[in-house]
Amino acid sequence: MKKVSIGLVCLAIVGVLSTEVFAKGLAKPNRSNFLDIDPVFQLITVRKANDADQLIRFNRRTGVTSYLKKNQWRLIKEDGRRVRNSLYQVIATADSSGGWNLYRLDMLNGDSWLVSSLMWKPIEETGYLKELEPEPLPEPP
């Protein structure tokens, strides 16, 4: 009788512990669930003329951008309107003086910016792109 009651107590303890561990597992977000979606932050590097790499980090949804200098992220400030919860793309290019150029595009409405004196400045539009008419298909014989 003692063996049966000890076995039941052990079984009850295991059941409680496994339920508690399972419940705790449900409360924590599973990192693998987030790996299937597009990342919010993106890192890009640019190789400067002096062969040094510049690391740049930006948020694809807000457009907030920073660059790494002496182990600290330094924010690139804004000059002009920036839409939050959009979709931004950033590209970096090296220049001949050893520095770097940075450009940002709002992929939903087409607004674009460039970095000047560590501040995002809007690129003014002077015209529109004309889409070419597709050539007509030849008629079958």
pLDDT tens-digit profile of 61-74?
888 888 889 999 99
pLDDT band at 23 (very low <50, low <70, confident <90, very high): very low
**pLDDT of 48 strictly over 70:** yes
- Determine the pLDDT at residue 12: 55
Structure tokens at 127: 């015209």
Residue 31's CB is within 10 A of a number of other CB atoms, namely: 7
Residue 90 DSSP SS3: strand
The residue among 135 and 110 whose pLDDT is bigger is 110
- Helices and strands: H and E segment counts in the chain: 2, 9
**pLDDT of 139 strictly over 50:** yes
**pLDDT of 38 strictly over 80:** no
pLDDT band at 19 (very low <50, low <70, confident <90, very high): low
Range among 88-92, 93-97, 131-135 with highest mean pLDDT value: 88-92
